[in-house]
């Protein structure tokens, strides 16, 4: 797991540690000492800790003018034991939402397991962003992760699964990803409706 780095090809246009509005502003990374773990396996030091014991993230891109951000995740998303979504909302998303981000892409291909609890925090995130026509999309969830998310009823507050489970997002620039997802959400009948 220590070889899995957050996606780095967009670092020429955005880095969270240089973004004054980012929750990870001025964070420093030690490329030689690994200290964060998932399942007793060290992970690459570029992943950002936000308070969870088993889940880490990296803000790959944020555009405050258009109000969208792309975050990549690694580890085990465990709301049941550790309430990971609470830490994510309070330590990361609330900061971004306060600064105008209402459209979120969560890249989840390195989320190995998901243990749901209830949907209260997902509903709170949805309420925070929906007034500004925001959305939350989970990209590339593993099948068993998607099943657990659906069992937790997250699909009422976020888009996931189907065509969103196999997206080759790396060949695009961040704004192209956002435009493609917005087009998908406008044309897909399975879009979240409240």
Count of domains for the chain: 1
Residue 126 falls inside a structural domain: yes
| CATH code for the domain of 164 | 3.30.750.24
Helices (H) and strands (E) in the chain, counts: 5, 6
Domain that holds residue 62: 16-29+48-187
The set of residues, in sequence order, having a beta carbon less than 8 Å from that of 70 and lying 6+ positions away, is 59, 60, 61, 62, 104, 105, 107, 174, 177, 178
Residue 93's pLDDT band, with cuts at 50, 70 and 90, is very high
Residue 138 falls inside a structural domain: yes
pLDDT single digits (tens) 134-177: 999 999 999 999 999 999 999 999 999 999 999 999 999 999 99
* The token pair that represents 118 in the structure block: 């209830």
pLDDT single digits (tens) 69-80: 999 999 999 999
Residue 1 falls inside a structural domain: no
Residue 163 falls inside a structural domain: yes
Residue 159 falls inside a structural domain: yes
Residue 35 falls inside a structural domain: no
Residue 96 falls inside a structural domain: yes
Cα dihedral 131, 67, 65, 25, rounded to 10, equals: 130
Residue 194 falls inside a structural domain: no
pLDDT at residue 194, as a whole number: 37
């Amino acid at each position: 797991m220590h070889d899995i780095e957050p996606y780095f090809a967009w670092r020429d246009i955005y880095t969270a540690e240089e973004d004054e509005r980012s929750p990870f502003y001025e964070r420093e990374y030690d490329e030689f000492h690994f200290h964060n773990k998932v399942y007793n396996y060290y992970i690459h030091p570029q992943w950002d800790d936000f308070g969870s014991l088993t889940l880490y993230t990296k803000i790959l891109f944020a555009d405050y003018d258009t109000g969208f951000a792309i975050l990549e995740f690694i580890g085990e998303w465990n709301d049941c034991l550790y309430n990971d979504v609470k830490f994510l909302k309070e330590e990361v998303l609330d900061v971004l939402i306060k600064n105008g981000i209402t459209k979120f892409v969560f890249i989840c291909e390195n989320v190995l397991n998901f243990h749901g609890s209830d949907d209260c925090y997902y509903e709170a995130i949805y309420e925070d962003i929906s007034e500004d026509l925001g959305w939350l999309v989970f990209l590339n969830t593993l099948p068993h992760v998607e099943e657990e998310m659906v069992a937790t009823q997250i699909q009422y507050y976020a888009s996931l699964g189907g065509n969103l489970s196999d997206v080759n997002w790396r060949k695009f620039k961040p704004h192209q990803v956002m435009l493609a997802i917005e087009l998908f959400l406008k044309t897909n009948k399975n879009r979240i409706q409240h």
